[in-house]
């Protein structure tokens, strides 16, 4: 029936066109031509219908097109501080685009963009006739902006044959029409420019503008916009870093199109076509930008938070911070962070210079001072070997010599061979020196089960090959790591690095001898972390020192004083003899097996009466020991610091408490992080109220759905009157009054063998904590002159606060003063009016050194335990 209708229709058309004088053979040919035309139209419609039911994107996919987006990290002022990404893409809206960019895009890529509905049939006809039939390559294509977006979003796979290309083009048309129905013209332009990859790490228009011109996309001028629009044709061919002349010519084409379409005048074109490209290329990486250590720790925290139940995507999968375009709102103050980093880079070279002078005639890995708490040379050498074996050079040689035989042993035995080759070294040594494995078991370096596995390797038919390859590896390692080579190393200069020649082993020693620092600044009223510095340079030293645990020394003493003031009402004016104090096994609350008598530095005792505030300022161990004895137990101190955010029940993997249950905690035997200690000190600055430190306020997905939101967790740790007494004591102890405009106090801390230097400073609206020391405990000063917190850490805090006072943009108010509770405190602060009873005079004959094991705990044991845990 349909065929009959078509035949009759064609007869009428032929009659109309050619009249009655038609030859039969001619009529047949024309009929078949018409049939071909109608069949082609019918086939096209059929293909469109069939394609509509194939793998085209669904409505949901059209509404949520796939695109890897960078997650944005916001500072406390709402500015973008940095990004996480696999593709450095930050989407923008149409309103955020420069008009120059939009005009250049439409003039060059799609002149009738606002007139068509996804397919420009006029341009299509021109392309068929001029390009397809007449071969005029300059006639241009027919692909619209919407079709180009469809290709980027859903049909990026290249076609290998003509048929595939035709089907792909038809799919683009269908998707383009659907996109036009789902989005406005403005939204399509924004989506296209956001999706496009401009090479050199520039994903999307925002990053392209920043990377190539160091401009925001809304500020691009005519030539800059023309350059980026010109790259849309082929970003690799029109890469301004590789082919600047081609880019200039392509930019000229874009500007000519803008003139043709009335967006610029002929005079403007003549002027602009001759200007330089003006490229200001700035490659961006995750390391770039402020607070690199903070961003590293932030990524870990965000991953942990989003792994919790109820914080997944709608399909149940986990969010990827590098692809899902999250919005992470932090508490970091960009001005404070910048100032802190600048002051750190000024101060640490001074400290490092003093350190180089200390060690210019000695090797820290071999030198021995004779101190009882010094890490033995044997362990230091072991750690140096481990550092060497963790290097890329060693791992490459290891793969060359050991990978084959270790694969055979792994197939034969159930034994894990670590990359540092501890197992191989021990087993080979046992074969040449009987008793090695037994000694390791007796020293609790390895378990009996592990020893049994070692012996199985010794009995393996592959052991001889292992021993042979091990010897070959050691020979080549010896040669490679002692041979000087050209390299770039860290240095304190404008570039923070220098080119030099040294052996790989000397490079390891060199970098390990740089002192590191950890620094945070916390707002006491909210717990918001405003500054985070985890080390001296993230490019060369990735390990963050804000969250590591180190012995805190005398910075712990204010907690002892605060407990005594709170529980027993001591006045800062109460006097104590500067003489040794002994806590004995008879003091039952301490559960000691033998007497404990800490000593002052240099065995120095004045024998005079010292007020408590003077004892704190001078960090007299005698006064701290006296207060601990008066408390009768360690527990009251543990309870207080627990309320101040330090978990008293926290243990290491070997079962040892971070806060030891012994009187030596009064002198700083506890291990804490910079963030933890600074957070505890915020209690003093906040009228006795502790706010848990936080650095994330909110996390949203790219659509604005809130995935996480923080809430203040505060508790009253100290009564206001007792807390204010501590503020007065820290004012006196900090010795910063007068040098700063702020109301300020603080406390220094130094640990045994001068391994750690601390200072925590408090002001009414900011608490700043700083630690300085080596990655390893033996990387330390050799005397108290430089090896104390007042030299290593205190000046950095002081300089930082002074800069804040000078820069109002930071938001820091130096006019704020600590809150004093109204009325009578119940504790006398005026020593001129104080008339308290004197304590009984105590003395002792046998003293211990200030930095002894009994004072600070078994520090060598701690190092040994840590190594054991790592090796097992």
Best CA proximity match to 234, nearest among 250, 222, 220, 248: 250
Question: Which structural domain, as residue segments, surrounds residue 17?
Answer: 2-53
710-740 pLDDT per residue, tens: 988 889 999 999 999 999 999 999 888 888 9
Once rounded to an integer, what is the mean pLDDT over residues 330-336? 98
Q: What is the dihedral of CA 720, 794, 362, 540, to 10 degrees?
A: 100
Q: What is the dihedral of CA 825, 829, 832, 834, to 10 degrees?
A: 60
Once rounded to an integer, what is the mean pLDDT over residues 394-401? 94
CA distance 371 to 784: 14
* 245 contacts: CB under 8 Å, gap ≥ 6: none
Residue 643, domain member (yes or no): yes
Once rounded to an integer, what is the mean pLDDT over residues 824-848? 68
CA atoms within 13 A on the CB side of 708: 24
Find the helix packing angle between 557-568 and 635-643, rounded to 10°.
100
pLDDT band at 158 (very low <50, low <70, confident <90, very high): low
Residue 864, domain member (yes or no): no
CA distance 701 to 71: 9
DSSP structure string for 347-395:
HHHHHHHHHHHHHTT--TTT-----TTSPPHHHHHHHHHHHHHTSHHHH
Once rounded to an integer, what is the mean pLDDT over residues 233-246? 91
Best CA proximity match to 183, nearest among 117, 127, 90, 263: 117
Query: Do residues 398 and 412 make contact, with C-beta atoms less than 8 angstroms apart?
Result: no
- Model confidence at 638: pLDDT above 50: yes
The two three-digit tokens of residue 390, written as one number: 């963790």
Give the pLDDT of residue 867: 34
451-497 pLDDT per residue, tens: 999 999 999 999 999 999 999 999 999 999 999 999 999 999 999 99
- Model confidence at 160: pLDDT above 90: no
DSSP structure string for 503-514:
-HHHHHHHHHTS
- Model confidence at 266: pLDDT above 70: yes
In the three-class reduction of DSSP (H, G, I as helix; E, B as strand; rest coil), residue 631 is classed as helix
Once rounded to an integer, what is the mean pLDDT over residues 112-135? 65
Strands 327-330 and 71-74: parallel
Give the pLDDT of residue 88: 78
Find the helix packing angle between 244-260 and 222-230, rounded to 10°.
110
Give the pLDDT of residue 853: 33
CA distance 202 to 611: 64
CA atoms within 13 A on the CB side of 787: 20
Last residue of a domain, which of 283, 311, 329? 283
Best CA proximity match to 413, nearest among 467, 465, 441, 450: 450
Q: Which helix (H) or strand (E) holds 516?
A: strand 516-522
580-600 pLDDT per residue, tens: 999 999 988 999 999 999 988
- Model confidence at 848: pLDDT above 70: no
CA distance 56 to 59: 10
Q: What percent of the chain has pLDDT over 90?
A: 63
CA distance 590 to 329: 46
Give the pLDDT of residue 763: 98
Residue 827, domain member (yes or no): yes
- Model confidence at 860: pLDDT above 90: no
Q: What percent of the chain has pLDDT over 70?
A: 83
Query: Do residues 68 and 320 make contact, with C-beta atoms less than 8 angstroms apart?
Result: no
Once rounded to an integer, what is the mean pLDDT over residues 120-140? 55
CA distance 453 to 389: 23
Once rounded to an integer, what is the mean pLDDT over residues 355-366? 93
In the three-class reduction of DSSP (H, G, I as helix; E, B as strand; rest coil), residue 666 is classed as helix
Q: What is the dihedral of CA 297, 301, 302, 307, to 10 degrees?
A: 140
Best CA proximity match to 398, nearest among 482, 484, 406, 871: 406
Beta pairing partners, 516: 773
Best CA proximity match to 484, nearest among 460, 504, 467: 504
Last residue of a domain, which of 231, 258, 283? 283
Residue 330, domain member (yes or no): no
Give the pLDDT of residue 783: 87
Query: Do residues 183 and 136 make contact, with C-beta atoms less than 8 angstroms apart?
Result: no
Give the pLDDT of residue 859: 34
Query: Do residues 90 and 207 make contact, with C-beta atoms less than 8 angstroms apart?
Result: yes
Beta pairing partners, 769: 520, 760
If asked whether residues 538 and 584 sit together in one domain, one would say yes
Give the pLDDT of residue 756: 95
- Model confidence at 614: pLDDT above 90: yes
Query: Do residues 279 and 213 make contact, with C-beta atoms less than 8 angstroms apart?
Result: yes
Best CA proximity match to 413, nearest among 460, 451, 378, 373: 460
152 burial class (0-12, 13-18, 19+ CB within 10 angstroms)?
middle
pLDDT band at 851 (very low <50, low <70, confident <90, very high): very low
If asked whether residues 606 and 732 sit together in one domain, one would say yes
If asked whether residues 611 and 548 sit together in one domain, one would say yes
Which residue, chain included where needed, has tokens 């990978």? Answer: 403
Beta pairing partners, 550: 672
Give the pLDDT of residue 261: 93
pLDDT band at 28 (very low <50, low <70, confident <90, very high): low
CATH number, domain of 209, equals: 1.10.3810.10
Where b means 16+ CB within 10 Å and e means fewer, 471-482 reads: eebeeebeebbe
Once rounded to an integer, what is the mean pLDDT over residues 78-95? 88
If asked whether residues 693 and 574 sit together in one domain, one would say yes
Alpha carbon 209 to chain centroid distance? 25
CA distances from 92 to 57, 108, 216, 725 (A): 23, 21, 11, 54
If asked whether residues 276 and 424 sit together in one domain, one would say no
Q: What is the mean pLDDT of the chain?
A: 86
Once rounded to an integer, what is the mean pLDDT over residues 369-397? 91
Q: Which has more pLDDT, 58 or 181?
A: 181
- Least trusted range by pLDDT, from 77-86, 202-211, 406-415, 526-535: 406-415
If asked whether residues 140 and 229 sit together in one domain, one would say yes
Best CA proximity match to 144, nearest among 185, 103, 181, 182: 185
Best CA proximity match to 552, nearest among 797, 293, 772, 854: 772
Residue 336, domain member (yes or no): no
CA distance 367 to 2: 102
The two three-digit tokens of residue 826, written as one number: 């119940």
CA angle 599-601-605, nearest 5°? Answer: 65
291-319 pLDDT per residue, tens: 999 999 999 999 999 999 989 888 888 99
Give the pLDDT of residue 615: 95
Give the pLDDT of residue 144: 87
If asked whether residues 462 and 563 sit together in one domain, one would say no
The two three-digit tokens of residue 399, written as one number: 């793969």
Once rounded to an integer, what is the mean pLDDT over residues 741-754? 94
Give the pLDDT of residue 692: 95
- Model confidence at 141: pLDDT above 90: no
If asked whether residues 632 and 752 sit together in one domain, one would say yes
- Model confidence at 765: pLDDT above 90: yes
If asked whether residues 473 and 537 sit together in one domain, one would say no
Q: Which has more pLDDT, 837 or 738?
A: 738
Query: Do residues 543 and 525 make contact, with C-beta atoms less than 8 angstroms apart?
Result: no
- Model confidence at 178: pLDDT above 60: yes
The two three-digit tokens of residue 624, written as one number: 């701290």
- Model confidence at 578: pLDDT above 90: yes
Last residue of a domain, which of 457, 486, 515? 486
Which residue, chain included where needed, has tokens 């003077």? Answer: 614
415-433 pLDDT per residue, tens: 788 899 999 999 999 999 9
CA distance 195 to 153: 8
pLDDT band at 653 (very low <50, low <70, confident <90, very high): confident
Residue 343, domain member (yes or no): no
Widest pairwise Cα distance in the chain: 140
If asked whether residues 471 and 531 sit together in one domain, one would say no
CA distance 186 to 192: 10
- Least trusted range by pLDDT, from 80-89, 168-177, 220-229: 168-177
CA distance 519 to 767: 11
CA distance 809 to 548: 31
Task: Give the 3-state DSSP-derived string for 276-287, with helices as H, strands as E and coil as C.
Answer: CCCCCCCCCCCC
CA distance 805 to 820: 23
Give the pLDDT of residue 21: 57
Give the pLDDT of residue 301: 96
DSSP structure string for 203-263:
BSHHHHHHHHHSS-GGG--HHHHHHHHHGGG-TTTT-TTT-HHHHHHHHHHHHHHHHHTTS
CA distance 229 to 250: 9
CA distance 266 to 847: 94
Query: Do residues 720 and 825 make contact, with C-beta atoms less than 8 angstroms apart?
Result: no
CA distance 701 to 699: 7
Residue 807, domain member (yes or no): yes
- Within 10 A of 293 (CB to CB), how many other CB atoms are there? 22
- Model confidence at 70: pLDDT above 90: no
CATH number, domain of 822, equals: 3.40.710.10
CA distance 684 to 14: 101
Number of domains comprising the chain: 4
If asked whether residues 124 and 266 sit together in one domain, one would say yes
If asked whether residues 106 and 238 sit together in one domain, one would say yes
CA distance 127 to 141: 6
Beta pairing partners, 611: 575
Residue 339, domain member (yes or no): no
In the three-class reduction of DSSP (H, G, I as helix; E, B as strand; rest coil), residue 63 is classed as helix
């Amino acid at each position: 029936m349909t065929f009959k209708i078509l035949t009759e229709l064609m007869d009428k058309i032929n009659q109309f066109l050619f009249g009655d004088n038609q030859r039969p053979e001619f009529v047949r040919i024309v009929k078949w031509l018409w049939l071909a035309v109608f069949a082609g139209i019918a086939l096209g419609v059929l293909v469109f219908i069939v394609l509509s039911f194939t793998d085209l994107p669904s409505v949901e996919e059209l509404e949520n097109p796939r695109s890897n987006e960078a997650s944005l990290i916001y500072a406390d002022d709402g500015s973008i501080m940095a990004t996480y990404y696999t593709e450095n893409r930050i989407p923008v809206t149409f309103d955020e685009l420069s008009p120059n960019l939009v005009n250049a895009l439409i003039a060059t890529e799609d002149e009738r963009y606002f007139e068509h509905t996804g397919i420009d049939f006029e341009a299509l006809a021109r392309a068929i006739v001029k390009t397809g039939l007449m071969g005029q390559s300059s006639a241009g294509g027919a692909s619209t902006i919407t079709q180009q977006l469809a290709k980027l979003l859903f049909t990026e796979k290249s076609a290998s044959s003509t048929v595939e290309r035709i089907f792909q083009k038809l799919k683009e048309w269908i998707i383009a029409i659907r996109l036009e129905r789902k989005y406005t013209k403005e939204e399509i332009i924004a989506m296209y420019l956001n999706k496009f990859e401009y090479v050199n790490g520039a994903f999307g228009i925002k990053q392209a503008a920043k990377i190539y011109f160091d401009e925001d996309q809304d500020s691009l001028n005519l030539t800059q916009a023309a350059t980026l629009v010109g790259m849309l044709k082929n970003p690799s061919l029109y890469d301004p870093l590789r082919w600047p002349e081609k880019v200039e010519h392509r930019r000229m084409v874009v500007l000519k199109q803008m003139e043709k379409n009335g967006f610029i005048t002929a005079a403007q074109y003549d002027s602009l076509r001759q200007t330089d490209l003006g490229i200001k290329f700035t490659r961006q990486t995750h390391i770039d930008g402020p607070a690199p250590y903070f961003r590293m720790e932030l990524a870990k925290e965000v991953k942990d938070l989003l792994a919790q139940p109820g914080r997944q995507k709608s399909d149940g999968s986990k969010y990827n911070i590098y692809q899902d375009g999250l919005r992470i709102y932090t508490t970091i103050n960009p001005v404070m962070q910048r100032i802190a980093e600048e002051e750190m880079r000024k101060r640490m070279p001074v400290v490092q210079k003093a350190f180089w002078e200390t060690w210019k005639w000695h090797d820290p890995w071999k030198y021995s001072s004779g101190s009882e708490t010094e890490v033995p040379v044997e362990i230091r050498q072991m750690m140096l070997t481990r550092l060497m074996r963790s290097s890329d050079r060693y791992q490459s040689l290891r793969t060359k010599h050991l990978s084959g035989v270790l694969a055979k042993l792994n197939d034969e035995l159930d034994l894990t061979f670590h990359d540092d080759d501890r197992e191989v070294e021990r087993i080979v040594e046992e074969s040449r020196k009987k008793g090695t494995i037994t000694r390791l078991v007796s020293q609790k370096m390895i378990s009996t089960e592990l020893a049994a596995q070692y012996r199985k390797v010794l009995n393996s038919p592959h052991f001889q090959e292992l021993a042979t390859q091990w010897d070959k590896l050691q020979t080549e390692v010896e040669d490679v790591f002692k041979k000087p080579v050209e390299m770039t190393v860290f240095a304190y200069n404008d570039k923070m690095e220098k080119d030099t020649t040294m052996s790989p082993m000397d490079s390891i020693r060199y970098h390990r001898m740089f002192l590191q620092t950890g620094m945070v600044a916390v707002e006491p009223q909210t717990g918001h972390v405003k500054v985070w510095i985890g080390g001296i340079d993230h490019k060369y030293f990735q390990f963050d020192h804000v969250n590591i645990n180190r012995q805190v020394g005398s910075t712990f003493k204010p907690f002892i004083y605060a407990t005594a003031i709170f529980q027993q009402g001591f006045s800062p004016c109460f006097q104590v003899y500067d003489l040794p104090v002994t806590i004995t096994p008879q003091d039952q609350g301490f559960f000691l097996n033998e007497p404990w008598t800490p000593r002052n530095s240099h065995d120095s005792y004045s024998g005079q009466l010292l007020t408590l505030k003077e004892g704190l300022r001078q960090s007299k161990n005698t006064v701290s020991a006296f207060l601990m004895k008066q408390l009768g137990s360690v527990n009251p101190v543990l309870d207080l610091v627990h309320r101040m955010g330090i978990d008293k029940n926290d243990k290491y993997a070997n079962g040892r408490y971070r806060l030891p249950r012994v009187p030596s905690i009064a002198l700083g035997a506890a291990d804490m992080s910079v963030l933890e200690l600074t957070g505890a000190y915020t209690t003093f600055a906040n009228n006795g109220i502790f706010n848990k430190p936080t650095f994330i306020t909110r996390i949203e997905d790219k659509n604005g759905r809130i995935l996480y939101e923080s809430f203040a967790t505060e508790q009253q740790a100290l009564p206001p009157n007792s807390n204010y007494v501590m503020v007065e004591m820290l004012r006196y102890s900090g010795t910063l009054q007068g040098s700063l405009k702020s109301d300020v106090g603080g406390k220094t801390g130094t640990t045994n063998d001068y391994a750690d230097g601390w200072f925590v400073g408090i002001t009414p609206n900011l608490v700043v904590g700083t630690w300085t020391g080596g990655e390893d405990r033996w990387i330390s000063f050799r005397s108290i002159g430089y090896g104390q917190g007042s030299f290593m850490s205190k000046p950095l805090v002081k300089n930082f606060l002074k800069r804040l006072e000078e820069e109002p943009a930071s938001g820091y108010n130096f006019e704020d003063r600590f809150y004093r509770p109204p009325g009578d405190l119940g504790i006398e602060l005026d020593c001129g009016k104080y008339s308290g009873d004197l304590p009984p005079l105590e003395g002792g004959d046998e003293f211990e050194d200030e930095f002894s094991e009994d004072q600070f705990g078994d520090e060598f044991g701690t190092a040994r335990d840590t190594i054991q845990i790592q090796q097992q």
